[in-house]
Amino acid sequence: MIVPRTSREEILAKLRAKMAKNLPLFIASAGSGLVAQLLEKAGVDCINTFSGARLRSNGMGTMSMLWPILDSNEQTMRYTREDIMPAIKGDAFICACVNANDPLKDMVMVINDLKAMGVFSISNIGPSISYVDKDSQVFDVLRKSGVTFEHEVEMLQVAKEMGMVTVGLAFDEEDSVQLVRDAQPDIFCYHAGTTKGGIRGYDSGETIDETARRTESANQQLRALKSDIILVAHGAAMENPEDAQYILDHTSCDGFWTGSSTERLPIERAVSETAAQFAALRFPESRAGGRS
């Protein structure tokens, strides 16, 4: 099997061409080859792979990747190579979300390995320390041990120099500004928070209006730092297509990034409903006496 290959130039040209038609860009996570196939067929522009999506496909919450349950980079690299790349046709490009703070891996080697398997886009959420509250002891201990946001920024800088399409992500305005100012990513996603809904979703009580307002507040600052940056929205109250439409209507985003919304939640609903229908089946009354 020969997996599809692409390039930084080809990816950006496709994205700009779609934007020129006034169509929103669509990024979505995939934790399995089947989901990746379905996403690509539906018209997704970018399929991102990361350990959180892989964990979601096994019934765990996305942010369980923050704990040492697994080697995040090894998990992402392996399933991207074995499950995702062979499953797609190349209409969508793959963005690998890696852990730039991995103390056992050189990021230049990681980037070269990704390019060798046909991946020419990379993001810093694999996981990102930006998710950790800055006023917490956990955040202070992580920084003291060498786990820093600066490593994520540096990884994106190097990746861009090495010919990758860079997708930056941060969970608050302070980190968003730092990342865009210093790394100048091609695409940036303001992560509004863990998506609500379903078995493992987290509902902070925020409304879609509040998610849109927080996202746009970050957008305004980021466009001032890089006028040609591509901005996408993700998370929090953006649970379904209607929510995503609200984001498009009330922000300056160029598109959106879905995770649980197009992966975990549809699977939960479809499997639960279909399995319940099967479980409700009964033998015909002619067999009421049972088997002899």
DSSP string, 211-257: HHHHHHHHHHHHHHH-TT-EEEEESTT--SHHHHHHHHHHS--SEEE
Q: What was the pLDDT predicted at 202? A: 60
**Mean pLDDT of all residues in the chain?**
91
d(CA 84, CA 106): 23
pTM: 0.91
Q: Which of 44-53, 107-116, 192-201, 216-225 has the lowest mean pLDDT?
A: 192-201
Q: What was the pLDDT predicted at 196? A: 59
Q: What was the pLDDT predicted at 264? A: 84
Residue 18: exposure state from Cβ atoms within 10 A (0-12, 13-18, ≥19): middle
184 pLDDT higher than 80: yes
Q: Summarize the confidence of residues 73-92 as an average pLDDT.
A: 95
**Structure confidence by residue, pLDDT tens digits, 101-158:** 999 999 999 999 999 999 999 999 988 999 999 999 999 999 999 999 999 999 999 9
Angle subtended by helix axes 107-117 and 149-161, to nearest 10: 50
Are residues 95 and 12 in contact, defined by beta-carbon separation less than 8 angstroms? no
Tokens at residue 261, please?
Answer: 């919304």
59 pLDDT higher than 80: no
Q: What was the pLDDT predicted at 81? A: 96
198 pLDDT higher than 80: no
d(CA 4, CA 221): 37
At 285, is the pLDDT very low, low, confident or very high (cuts 50, 70, 90)? confident
Q: 284 phi and psi, to 5 degrees?
A: -65, 160
Indicate the CATH number for domain 8-264. 3.20.20.70
Report CA torsion sign: 79, 85, 88, 94: positive
At 68, is the pLDDT very low, low, confident or very high (cuts 50, 70, 90)? low
Q: What was the pLDDT predicted at 64? A: 65
Q: What was the pLDDT predicted at 122? A: 98
20 pLDDT higher than 90: yes
241 pLDDT higher than 90: yes
**Dihedral, 90, 186, 125, 98 alpha carbons, nearest 10:** 60
**Structure confidence by residue, pLDDT tens digits, 199-217:** 666 667 889 999 999 999 9
281 pLDDT higher than 80: yes
Are residues 185 and 168 in contact, defined by beta-carbon separation less than 8 angstroms? yes
Q: What was the pLDDT predicted at 292? A: 54
Q: Summarize the confidence of residues 85-103 as an average pLDDT.
A: 95
**Among candidate residues 37, 91, 57, the one with its CA nearest the CA of residue 259:** 57
Q: 73 phi and psi, to 5 degrees?
A: -70, -40
Tokens at residue 2, please?
Answer: 């020969």
d(CA 90, CA 118): 10
65 pLDDT higher than 70: no
Domain limits, the chain: 8-264
35 pLDDT higher than 80: yes
61 pLDDT higher than 70: no
